[in-house]
Chains A and B, each alone.
Chain A
Amino acid sequence: MKAKIFIKYKDGILDPQGKVTGKALNSIGINGINSLTIGKYIEMEFGDVSKDEANQIANESCKKLLVNPNTQTYSFEIINE
């Protein structure tokens, strides 16, 4: 079982990396993109735990370390692989 964790800046927090990358795509002729933000993707592999436990572990990890609640938001999904 795996958690796929996605972390991104909250709306309104400056994301210069995303902004510049969006502009770069525009400058090579890829149009139609309104905005682009760059975040983090974390994969977490579990041992012998239930789906509920995996949910709990992923959530606690985000809250205690992986995410800075002042500037970031997160979401995750638990998948069987």
Chain B
Amino acid sequence: MNKCAVLVFPGSNCDNDAYFVLKNLFNIEVDFVWHKSSNLDSYNMILIPGGFSYGDYLRTGAIAKFSPIMKEVVLKSKKGIPIIGICNGFQILLECGLLPGSLINNKNIKFLSQNVTLQVHNDSTIFTSRLKVGDMLSMPIAHKEGNYIADDDTVKKLEDNNRIIFKYLENPNGSQNDIAGIINENGNVLGMMPHPERACDKILGSDDGKFIFKSIIERFK
């Protein structure tokens, strides 16, 4: 079994990019899984894509949290299945409590659509095994609520346990400690605001995102 589920909520808009990258560049089996489904048994990787689930009504990710599929995602997370939430996917993981903290409005209130440089801070995770600490990755961000915030204890725990695996080299949105991507305690859930699926081919300006997918896929090949 070597299959990835790309979840689809009403308002997801990076699902096709993720599907294309995994299927065509990494040759793995991929299915779109509608949010009303409640079974992810046949998948050994779950990707929650970016977009505007439920129109970002109330708060980003707040309504998606109650979709039937998210109960199953929480169960699978406990079984150690790799789960990656990108942008809105990250926001949903935070609302579900699979990752700590919150994402609030960018410091300058603007929607930011630009390339950023990420620095790798932990290379011994399933998401970064093909990378080295200090590596710089170029990929785009596209968000208005990407400003990571958590209480001091939480941020200290994240730092102490090496769970901030990506930091912005130049902080675009005001995130505490330049946080761009964090993992859960078990190391199988990653949430990140930048879009690795949009940076997997040089024709798009960067293929640095490939290293993240390569790392995960290699683990179950």
Q: Which residues of chain A are near B105, meaning CB under 8 Å?
A: 14, 16-17
Q: Which residues of chain B are near A16, meaning CB under 8 Å?
A: 105-109
Residues of chain B in range 71-108 having any CB-CB distance to chain A below 8 Å? 95, 101-102, 104-108
A interface, size bucket:
10 to 19
Total count of chain B residues near the partner, CB < 8 A: 19
- A45-81, CB under 8 A of B: which get 1 and which 0? 0000000000000000000011010110000000000
A20 within 8 A of B: yes
Given A13-B149, A14-B174, are A71 and B109 also a contact pair (CB < 8 Å)?
no
| Distance in Å: Cβ of B96 to nearest Cβ of chain A | 12
Within the assembled complex, what's the spacing in Å between the Cα atoms of A42 and B152? 30
Given A14-B104, A14-B174, are A70 and B150 also a contact pair (CB < 8 Å)?
yes
Q: Which residues of chain B are near A70, meaning CB under 8 Å?
A: 101-102, 149-151
B62 within 8 A of A: yes
Q: Which residues of chain B are near A9, meaning CB under 8 Å?
A: 104
Residues of chain A in range 1-45 having any CB-CB distance to chain B below 8 Å? 9, 13-14, 16-17, 20
Q: Are B58 and A71 in contact (CB under 8 A)?
A: no
* Pairs A–B under 8 Å by Cβ, sample size 9: A14-B147, A16-B106, A17-B109, A66-B58, A68-B59, A68-B62, A70-B151, A71-B102, A71-B104
Binding site for A on B (CB under 8 A): 58-59, 62-63, 66, 95, 101-102, 104-109, 147, 149-151, 174
